[in-house]
């Protein structure tokens, strides 16, 4: 069920004895890597406590439509927008009837009305209630008009002693059905660490050496990897970009700061993408106070910075390592040399001297080079090219297996 990794699941729980199974369902979803938020009806709280589900999900449990504290944080509309999928399990006959009628008289029914997210319900009720004409008519309406999937029910002995259809499907079966709603993503189950942006190498407390990197390509790669199912660590130098959702961001300043962050992330990293424009040199000595303008010329001694991508590629059991070559001349020759010299699995090359692409632009044009092929990608948005890079990585990984 790795396809649930990093997915946002909103689990609705209604009143019924099957509510006790919801605790096991939350645990199964969390084990699969999903982010789970629970919404309960008042009836559900009679069968299982919000505290239990909060402990299992790791998130506050929502149950009141007009809770001022909840509305000040993640309000009900934001909660509806948050989810990748909404599952109501168990779904009682009463709840099904209210949703079919278009009611929004509690938090859970309101969320269903307010969300365009894919939805499913797992019915749970007495076999006679399930067989009732009104219930069957409601189920048909939900399927056809509301586009709600109906999962189950199962048949067997019920809590009341009756035997027949009406039992909620088992939690593991529901978790698998949820996983099947998401396509088999290219990097599902992988952890990707990406560096982005420039580094700043201090000269004195107010001055530094840096470059024009905006970080846009690295951030686009982080989004593309996340959307491909990966868990993403984004290690960024100083940039003016918002942190993408569902991505862990670590902010750094200098090359040494970035290297420290990379080394901490490496033990759990399957794929490393070095998209940052790391300063090759730094001042040998950093002045403790601002250097005053007292002479016509000033010499600054520079020393070489550590090579982050080479360090990663030289580690034992190294991750799949992707480098970047931002050049102004002989782009392909330099990129191929870097690929071989640093023992990289793949390199992305681009000519930053061209107008309208590269540094600070939303557009780019790249050449992907690996040990067996070279592929040119014409000018496009950095987001589109980031998806092309992720697809190429996935293809090379598949070829290794």
Domain boundary residue among 122, 155, 179? 179
In terms of residue numbers, what domain contains 269? 191-400
- For every one of its 401 residues, what pLDDT tens digit does the chain have, with 9 covering 90 and above? 567 878 899 999 999 999 999 999 999 999 888 999 999 999 999 999 999 999 999 999 998 776 655 544 456 677 888 899 999 999 999 999 999 999 988 999 999 998 889 999 999 999 999 999 999 999 999 998 888 999 989 887 777 677 778 899 999 999 999 988 886 578 988 999 999 999 999 999 999 999 999 999 999 999 999 989 899 999 999 999 999 888 999 999 999 999 999 999 999 999 999 999 999 999 999 999 998 888 888 899 999 999 999 999 999 999 999 999 988 888 899 999 999 999 999 999 988 777 777 677 888 899 999 999 999 998 888 988 998 999 999 999 988 87
Torsion sign (Cα): 320, 387, 354, 333: positive
Give the ranges where 228-354 is alpha helix by DSSP (H).
255-265, 308-313, 331-341
- Known catalytic membership, residue 255: no
- C-alpha dist (Å) from residue 145 to 72, 100, 101, 137, 142: 33, 9, 11, 12, 6
CA 385 to chain centroid, in Å, comes to 18
> Do 42 and 129 fall within a single domain?
yes
Out of 159, 160, 163, 314, pick the active-site residue.
160
Nearest to 364 by CA among 340, 339, 347, 388: 388
pLDDT (tens digit, 9 = 90+) per residue, 283-294?
Answer: 999 999 998 888
Domain count, the chain: 2
Q: What is the pLDDT of residue 400?
A: 85
Q: What is the CATH number of the domain that holds 344?
A: 3.40.50.10300
Domain boundary residue among 125, 155, 179? 179
Q: What is the pLDDT of residue 352?
A: 78
Q: What is the CATH number of the domain that holds 17?
A: 3.40.50.1950
d(CA 136, CA 138): 5
Q: What is the pLDDT of residue 72?
A: 46
d(CA 88, CA 84): 14
Q: What is the pLDDT of residue 1?
A: 53
Asked if 69 contacts 61 with a C-beta cutoff of 8 angstroms, the reply is: no
Q: What is the pLDDT of residue 66?
A: 62
Domain boundary residue among 149, 179, 209? 179
Q: What is the pLDDT of residue 73?
A: 45
pLDDT (tens digit, 9 = 90+) per residue, 312-350?
Answer: 999 999 999 999 998 888 889 999 999 999 999 999 998
């Amino acid at each position: 069920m790795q396809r649930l990794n990093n997915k946002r699941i909103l689990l609705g729980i209604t009143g019924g004895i099957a509510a006790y199974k919801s605790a096991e369902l939350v645990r199964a979803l969390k084990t699969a890597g999903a982010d789970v938020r629970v919404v309960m009806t008042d009836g559900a709280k009679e069968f299982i406590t919000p505290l239990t589900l909060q402990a299992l999900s790791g998130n506050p449990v929502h149950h009141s439509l007009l809770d001022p504290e909840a509305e000040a944080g993640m309000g009900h509309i934001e909660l509806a927008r948050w989810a990748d999928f909404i599952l109501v399990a168990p779904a009682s006959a009463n709840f099904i009837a209210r949703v079919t009628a278009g009611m929004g008289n509690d938090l859970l029914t309101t969320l269903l009305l307010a969300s365009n997210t894919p939805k499913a319900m797992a019915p749970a009720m007495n076999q006679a209630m399930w067989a009732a004409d009104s219930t069957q008519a409601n189920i048909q309406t939900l399927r056809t008009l509301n586009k709600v999937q109906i999962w189950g029910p199962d048949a067997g002995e019920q809590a009341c002693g009756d035997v027949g259809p009406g039992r909620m499907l088992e939690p593991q079966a529901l978790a698998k059905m949820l996983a099947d709603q998401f396509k088999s993503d290219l990097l599902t189950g992988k952890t990707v660490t990406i560096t982005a942006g420039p580094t700043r190498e201090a000269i004195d407390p107010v001055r530094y050496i840096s470059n024009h990197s905006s970080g846009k390509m690295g951030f686009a790669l982080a989004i593309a990897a996340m959307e491909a199912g990966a868990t993403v660590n984004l290690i960024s130098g100083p940039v003016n970009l918002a942190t993408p959702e569902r991505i862990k961001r670590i902010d750094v300043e200098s090359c040494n700061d970035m290297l420290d962050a990379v080394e901490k992330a490496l033990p759990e990293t399957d794929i490393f993408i070095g998209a940052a424009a790391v300063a090759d040199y730094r001042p040998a000595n950093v002045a403790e106070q601002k250097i005053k303008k007292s002479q016509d010329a000033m010499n600054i001694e520079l020393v070489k910075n550590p090579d982050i991508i080479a360090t990663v590629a030289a580690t034992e059991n190294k991750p799949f390592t992707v480098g970047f070559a931002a050049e102004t001349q002989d782009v392909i020759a330099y990129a191929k040399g870097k690929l071989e010299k640093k023992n990289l699995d793949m390199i992305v090359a681009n000519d930053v001297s061209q107008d309208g692409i590269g540094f600070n632009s939303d557009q780019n044009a790249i050449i992907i080079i690996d040990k067996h092929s070279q592929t040119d990608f014409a000018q496009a948005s950095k987001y589109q090219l980031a998806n092309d890079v992720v697809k190429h990585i996935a293809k090379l990984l598949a070829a290794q297996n």
